[in-house]
Amino acid sequence: MPPEIVDSHCHLDFPDFNGELPEIIARARAAGVTRMVTICTRLRNEPQVRAIAETYDGVFYAAGTHPMSAAEEPLATLDQLVALAAHPKFVGIGETGLDYHYTAESATIQQTSLRVHIQAAQETGLPLIIHARAADDDMARILAEGMAERPYTCVMHCFSSSEALGLAALEMGFYLSMSGITAFPKSQELRDIFARAPLDRILLETDSPYLAPPPYRGRRNEPAYTAFTAKAGAQVFGLTEAEFAAATTANFDRLFTKAKAA
């Protein structure tokens, strides 16, 4: 049997998976991926994402407003996010964050939205799920301002930012999540950043249907492929695949406490 691993971030509601979810989840389990967190990126889609989590054992969900959608969607409210957190399979706040690569023109509303999500993480005790791209300085500043006001937990999803932002996140007690990017041949600089991070702050994810690791790069990603990122991560830390799987699964349980207890 393959070692147990967790896909801490996927998008099972995306059209790429339409009509195939039973097979997608069966392949994930066969690959050792016993739990998945499917992420809602627009709150109007929350009912569909919740339904997926309710249908499948081992599938949990989180919801928030993706920064690239922040200018298009109604601003999430604290009460709205706190109410969602009452669901037994709702395990995280987001994804939220800042993306100045594609949507720099909406930076102000992105920052406002991010602060609301931080407040929800503080209020509920659930981890914040952060998307960060080309916004390292503002990201580090806003996360630190929130932490100074009231502590909260957080994962830097699909981490591929600068070492400075990674260190800032780690210093606040946050987690860094490895995606398929970590396994790309040209990602040595990113692997070096992960290698300098504490093992007990590392998670695994696919961000599927995006960012498939080799040997599936360029094709649709799916939760089963977490195993290939886990293999690359084990090499980064000089561990066996079983050792790395056990460590990252323990990290997931420590951060996503509702998914452990369920």
* DSSP, residue by residue, 29-61: HHTTEEEEEEEESSGGGHHHHHHHHHHSTTEEE
Alpha-carbon distance values, 165 to 31, 193, 203, 209 (Å) = 32, 11, 17, 26
Question: Given this model, what pLDDT does residue 166 score?
Answer: 97
Question: Given this model, what pLDDT does residue 63 score?
Answer: 98
Question: Given this model, what pLDDT does residue 1 score?
Answer: 86
Mention every residue, 6+ apart, whose C-beta is less than 8 A from residue 88. 258, 262
pLDDT < 70 positions in the chain: 261-262
CATH number at residue 175: 3.20.20.140
Domain that residue 125 falls in: 5-261
Q: Does residue 209 have a cis peptide bond before it, meaning omega lies within 30 degrees of 0?
A: yes
Question: Given this model, what pLDDT does residue 261 score?
Answer: 62
Question: Given this model, what pLDDT does residue 260 score?
Answer: 84
Question: Given this model, what pLDDT does residue 70 score?
Answer: 97
* DSSP, residue by residue, 62-104: EE---GGGTTTSPPP-HHHHHHHTTSTTEEEEEEEEEEHHHHG
Handedness of CA 231, 234, 238, 241 (dihedral sign): negative
Number of domains forming the structure of the chain: 1
Write the pLDDT tens digit of every residue in 146-187.
999 999 999 999 999 999 999 999 999 999 999 999 999 999
